[in-house]
Amino acid sequence: MMSDVATRFVVGRSIVSAFAIIGDLLKPKSFAGLFGAAPSVALATLLLTTYSKAAAFTAAKAHTMVGGVIALFIYANCISYVLMRFNMPALAASALFTLLWLGVAIGWLLA
Amino acid sequence: MRVSIDVSSVRRTTVFEYAIRFLLGGIITAVTGLIANRFGAAAGGLFLALPAIFPASVTLVEKHEIEKKHSTGLRGTIRGREAAALDAAGAAIGSIGLFGFAIFVGRFAGSYSPRTVVLSATLIWFATAGPIWRLHKSRMLKRFKARLAINDPRYRDTD
């Protein structure tokens, strides 16, 4: 159990950081932003899942991932709009809208 | 608009800022695994699209733009927020690619080698998001040029 968590931590941090660094390196900013929605956590988690669980488990995870993706689309658009229109600090906007992400994603799961 | 590599932004990022994203990435992946084990694949799947390091990344973009403007003697707050907004707009386009990723894995992971499917889906993500970004950018440029044309005296009605 603990070794599984440790493996996830190591693999996850490596893949997420790799995508973040690629995003840092690229210009213009809107293109670099694509990497803010890179499948970094998904890639790490699903690859590890393929070693320990059946293929159906991976497919089931990807099916519900759609809800999280829709929430992410709304989240990113809201942040972009609020930063442009209301001059709100980026950290405050992104932290505030994380609650919106959670609401939409959980709503999708329960619907 | 051309995509290029800008090494200066990597140099501006401090070790602490990298460490934060490094840690967050690991924690979120570990927690997603724990949620899937405890509550099942459905709940775990949702968190695969959690904006894990997005708040840290977008804050860095804002901070770096402000620092750039500071070095030229300007405050740069508005420019910083505009850059962060552009980054967020890019993430919204990236999430369309992520939708393609999820659909592809959901459809094919049960039929083919899941590892190959997951890796191929990463290419699908980029092959979807990249062209949409390009299309979006060209539409934005057209609108911008049209707005310029309205303000340009050469295009004004002289009646």
Task: Supply the ipTM of this predicted assembly.
Answer: 0.91
Query: CA-to-CA distance for A24 and A38, rounded, in angstroms?
Result: 13
Q: Which chain B positions have a beta carbon within 8 Å of A105's beta carbon?
A: 46-47, 49-50
Q: How far is A3 from chain B (nearest CA, A)?
A: 11
Of A25, A55, A108, Cβ closest to residue B7: A25
Per-residue pLDDT at B110? 86
What pLDDT is recorded for position B33?
87
Which pLDDT does position B127 carry in this prediction? 96
The pLDDT assigned to A81 comes to 93
Residue with tokens 């303000």: B151
The tens digit of pLDDT for each residue in A81-91 reads 999 888 789 99
Using the 8-state DSSP alphabet, how is residue B52 labeled? S
Burial profile B10-35: b = 16 or more Cβ within 10 angstroms, e = fewer: eeebeeebbebbbbbbbbbbbbbbbb
Q: What is the pLDDT of residue A1?
A: 66
Q: Which of A9, A31, A69 sits opposite B95 (nearest CB)?
A: A69
Whole-number pLDDT of residue A75: 97
Q: Does A92 touch chain B (CB under 8 A)?
A: no
From first to last of its 111 residues, what are the pLDDT tens digits of chain A? Answer: 678 889 999 998 999 889 988 988 888 888 998 998 999 999 999 998 888 877 888 888 888 999 999 999 999 999 999 998 887 899 999 999 999 999 999 999 898
Q: How high is the mean pLDDT of chain A?
A: 90
pLDDT of the residue at B157: 42
Quick check: A89 contacting B, CB < 8 Å?
A: yes
Q: Residue B141's pLDDT is what?
A: 65
The backbone region for A87, taken as left when phi is positive above 0, alpha when psi lies in -120 to 50, beta otherwise, is left
Q: What is the DSSP string of A89-109?
A: -HHHHHHHHHHHHHHHHHHHH
Residue B4: DSSP 8-state: E
What's residue A72's pLDDT? 96
pTM recorded for the entire structure: 0.87
pLDDT of chain B, 159 residues: tens digit per residue: 688 888 887 787 888 888 888 898 899 899 988 898 888 888 889 999 999 888 888 998 899 888 888 877 777 788 899 999 999 999 999 999 999 999 999 999 888 998 999 999 999 999 999 999 998 888 766 776 676 566 555 444 443
